[in-house]
Amino acid sequence: MERPLWAPHGIDLSVPSVSRIYDYYLGGSHNFEVDREAGRRAIEAFPGLPKIMQANRAFMRRAVRYAVGRGVTQFLDIGSGIPTFGNVHEVARAAAPEARVVYVDHDPVAVAHSRAVLAGDERTAVVAADLRAPHDILAADEVARLLDLRRPVALLLVAVLHFMEDRDEPWKAVAELRDALAPGSLLALTHASTDGGPMKPEEGEEVQGVYRGVGSPLLMRSKGDVAGFFEGFEMVEPGLVPLSAWRPDANDDSPDCAGYAGVGRRP
């Protein structure tokens, strides 16, 4: 297989990547055939998947605008993936030109492409790190350079926690990040679920099977389990709700989605 110019050396082109599959769902061009094949299998199991991914991005943009509206102009986006139009720094700066953003991902393609896209932008940075090791994120030079953790930060965990198994202690990881944030900081997250949504449990099982097959287990957690990530935060209205129901825009026609979204504030 010919290696595209944008693909870092050392990447195994025969192994699918969660972030590149996500890029495929969003109609991006930074994915390989092996990613598209996995994505097609998942869509066959549940045809609404691309709409869900678009709804995740739409929530992210609404949450960023909410944060800026509350005076929060520092963003830590973990599991940021491959940059697409309307990324965090673009949305934030439309309202607050001084906004600073640190993107974090463990996928080499996502990191390399993010660095290429953001080259020369002194108010953004990219960190190659994993949510399973929050200390590495907090200790990163890029975080120290761009984010003042003594002031409120918006922590974005969009469509990433459902790729952490319970044995990875995701609640502990979020708590460690929370404890490093100043009062007034925000946590915005989304999480896949089959609770009360359009995705039937058997469809969820099929989608999970595709992700297990590519080495990235996908967990459909209950609303109660997802709510546990907000321990130590005060929920912002309307609380933990289906993805498309969190403060939708007037022209938002997103369908009901298989997942929850919420924003919490650290008191």
For residue 24, tell me if it sits in a domain: no
- Cis-peptide, bond into residue 238, ω within 30° of zero: yes
- Rounded distance, CA 64 to CA 101, Å? 11
Residue 78, helix vs strand vs coil:
strand
Residue 38 vs residues 21, 120, 209, 213: alpha-carbon distances, Å:
7, 34, 11, 9
Q: Which of 86, 260, 20 is nearest to 159 (CA)?
A: 260
Confirm if 64 and 153 have CB atoms less than 8 A apart: no
Q: Which amino acid is at 205?
A: E
Q: State how many domains the chain has.
A: 1
For residue 77, tell me if it sits in a domain: yes
pLDDT values of the chain reduced to their tens digit, one per residue, 267 residues: 566 666 667 677 788 888 889 889 988 888 889 999 999 999 998 888 888 888 899 999 999 999 999 999 999 999 998 887 789 999 999 999 999 999 999 988 889 888 888 989 999 999 999 999 999 999 999 999 999 999 999 999 999 999 999 999 999 999 999 999 999 999 999 999 888 667 777 888 888 888 888 888 889 999 999 999 999 999 999 999 999 899 998 776 655 667 999 999 999
| pTM for this prediction | 0.91
For residue 8, tell me if it sits in a domain: no
For residue 2, tell me if it sits in a domain: no
Domain range for residue 56? 51-198+225-265
CATH for 182: 3.40.50.150
For residue 234, tell me if it sits in a domain: yes
> For strand 259-265 and strand 234-235, is the pairing parallel, antiparallel, or unpaired?
antiparallel
For residue 19, tell me if it sits in a domain: no
For residue 15, tell me if it sits in a domain: no
Q: ∠246-217-186 over CA atoms, to 5°?
A: 30
- Rounded distance, CA 69 to CA 226, Å? 25
For residue 205, tell me if it sits in a domain: no
